[in-house]
Chain A
Amino acid sequence: MTTFEAILFTIVTASTPLLIAAIGELVAERAGVLNLGVEGMMAMGAVCAFAAAFTFDSTLIGIVMGMVAGGLMAALFALAVLGLAANQVGAGLALTIFGLGLSGLIGAPFVGQTRPRIEEWPIPILSDIPLVGHALFSQDPFVYVAFGLVVGTAYFLARTRAGLRLRSIGENHASAHALGLPVLKMRVMAVIFGGICAGLAGAYLSLVYTRFWAPNMTAGRGWIAVALVVFAAWRPTWALVGALVFGAATVLQLHAQAAQVGLPSQLLAAAPYIATILALVLLSIRRGRAVGAPGSLGTPFVPDR
């Protein structure tokens, strides 16, 4: 394995939590709901996954609990913004603050513990492809799940009847409602799907990526996932590209810190955030304003009778 292959491998690993969370948020936003609580749902996923995996000594139980935690957080958000038509930006922020706080409470007894390494599942033949084979196909199962999510979501949104309905309620909820589509019901499902994805992304962080739990370990990844959705113009395949770019930014700045390139470590640590802002600016210059954003994104829907 060459150094290049090794770096590529870690880039894919670093991108995976971003990608999983971004796909979940993308589906929720396509349905017209802006959930800024990704960071909080991810934090809850990370801590619940770790706590459950540690308590029952089972990674699988951990993963499931991480997804359940993310889903429950999303359900709370759905109750506020869909059940009560509360402001989505405010409620999402509240969910993030709440999730970061609660995850600290739950995780306190588990600080300092570690979980065993998760075996990679190399795929025969494919993992022997020169250069990229190792990075893409000798990975842990989460990575394949993430790829599967991209393909599945892209297919669902573009090619299925349910996907078309979901997009239409996100574009114009009043028309969709007039056509008899269950706007709120589909939105609830999309939001909970987003929460489950965020929880899974959190589980990946604590069970695979670091294998320990620490307070605030999500470190803004949930927010980067939200930015990725904009970056990807609400398209799953572009979310994959974006996640790899930001994964690369994260990994390369770590390598630069290790190599002592003479820049302050804080500047390098800030690089992914600076890159995110620049990417958002460059994309809106190229595309014009907010092209691709679902028409009803962020606006509450109260059906009249």
Chain B
Amino acid sequence: MRLELLPRPDPSPVARALAPLAALVVAFLVAGLVVALMGRSPVSAFEVYVLQPLTDPWSLRAMLVKATPLILIAIGLSYCFRAGLWNIGAEGQFIMGGVAGAALALATHGSDPGPWLLPAMMIAGILGGAAWGAIPAFLKVRFGVSEILTSLFLVYIAELFLDWLARGPWRDPAGFNFPQSVVFESAARLPEIPGLDRVHVGVILAVIAVLVTAIVLGRTLFGYRLKLTGDAPRAARFAGFDAKRTTFIVFLISGGLAGLAGIAEVSGQIGRVIPDISPGYGFTAITVAFLGRLNPFGILAAGLVLALTFIGGENAQILLRLPFDLTVAFQGLVLLFVLGADALVSYRVRLVRRVGAKA
């Protein structure tokens, strides 16, 4: 018995648009099954994971805050993935952005630096993330080393670097030996959006990134070049598009946006440097990018959906004592199913039995 794939002559655009939704539904069903196997009620889990956060204003605002890094990073990743490059180290670029921006905040601590500080921190965050993203790009272009492995290993290095900073040079001497820096001054904190309690302006940055990307991809030569490089690398070469330059540009964009997400999180949400500034946003963003079909508005929606899983996961930890790992497993399943669903759109799948397989 085996699966047989028959290419569909013209895949339905409706099916293509609905595939991520179907994948999401199946992932929810499988997660429900897992919860049932753990001896819990899937119905109450669904209530705690999905319905409660969606009906509670505080949770809805928290969802916006969690969606911000996911959307920023995933938008950046969409540039890489569209060009056929696998930047899977956004988590490290996120951390290095946070570190670079925080360095400015801590260096000016107690010196009343003025209004230039916040924009400078954001720019430092972008540069920090872009620099970290430039390493795998450089190693790929110059030495032909796979960007998959180098970008991933750089995550571990960034995590250890941040850990060292928070426990060593940046530790607050008056902090009872807790591994954390001083709390940033208000001049170094991203302000809240007026009228939206606890929601920092990073949300607006994420929306801007979505809109700009929609224009870049839909209306510019660069966007077209990107698509061509990913879909038909040979054709892109013949057209004179420089693959090396494209590699650098997309890694800088995606590293920069991940870095911006990092400093927005540190400055807007956490307010100090701690060893753990991300619950895995950089990896979840890969799922966000694919669930959003690499389309900027799709990513916006997918970012909100996966932010919900973070909020729901925290809820379930408190209310149902379900481990947060359930959320991680769910996110992995969503990615797997989204990729599988793509195949169901492009191919007609038939189950062929051994007997009569000769036909």
Contacts and interface: CB of A to CB of B under 8 A. Distances in A.
B149 A281 contact: no
Contact of B332 (A85, A87, A97, A226): A97
B347 A230 contact: no
Contacts of A223: 149, 152-153
Name B's interface SS.
helix
B161 interface: yes
B325 A104 contact: yes
Contact of B329 (A85, A87, A101): A101
B143 A284 contact: yes
12 contacts: A84-B347, A94-B335, A101-B326, A101-B328, A101-B330, A103-B325, A105-B325, A267-B160, A269-B160, A280-B139, A281-B143, A289-B144
A12 interface: no
Contacts of B290: 90
Contacts of B329: 97-98, 101-102, 104-105
Name A's interface SS.
helix
B318 interface: no
Contacts of B328: 97-98, 100-101, 104
Interface stretch (A53-61, A150-158, A173-181, A270-278): A270-278
Most buried by A among B152, B161, B336, B344: B336
Nearest to B351: A83
B144 A105 contact: no
Interface residues of A, number: 52
Interface string B331-357: 111011001101110110100000000
Nearest to B81: A90
Interface of B: 2-3, 5, 7, 34, 38, 86, 88, 139, 143-146, 148-150, 152-154, 156-157, 160-161, 163-164, 168, 283, 286-287, 290, 323-333, 335-336, 339-340, 342-344, 346-347, 349
Contacts of B7: 302
Given A85-B343, A281-B139, 15 more contacts: A80-B340, A89-B148, A94-B287, A94-B336, A98-B329, A98-B332, A100-B325, A230-B149, A266-B164, A269-B160, A273-B156, A274-B153, A280-B146, A284-B143, A302-B5
B329 to A, nearest CB: 3
Contacts of B324: 104
Interface in A95-117: 95-105, 108
Interface string A273-305: 110110011001100111000000000001000
Contacts of A276: 149, 153
A195 interface: no
A264 B164 contact: yes
Interface of A: 36, 40, 76, 79-80, 83-87, 89-91, 93-105, 108, 184-185, 215, 220, 223, 226-227, 230, 264, 266-267, 269-270, 273-274, 276-277, 280-281, 284-285, 288-290, 302
Contact of A285 (B38, B143, B157, B326): B143
Given A223-B152, A273-B153, A105 B343 contact: no
B346 to A, nearest CB: 8
Contacts of A302: 5, 7, 347
A290 B330 CA distance: 35
A86 B342 contact: yes
A231 to B, nearest CB: 10
A290 B144 contact: yes
A184 to B, nearest CB: 7
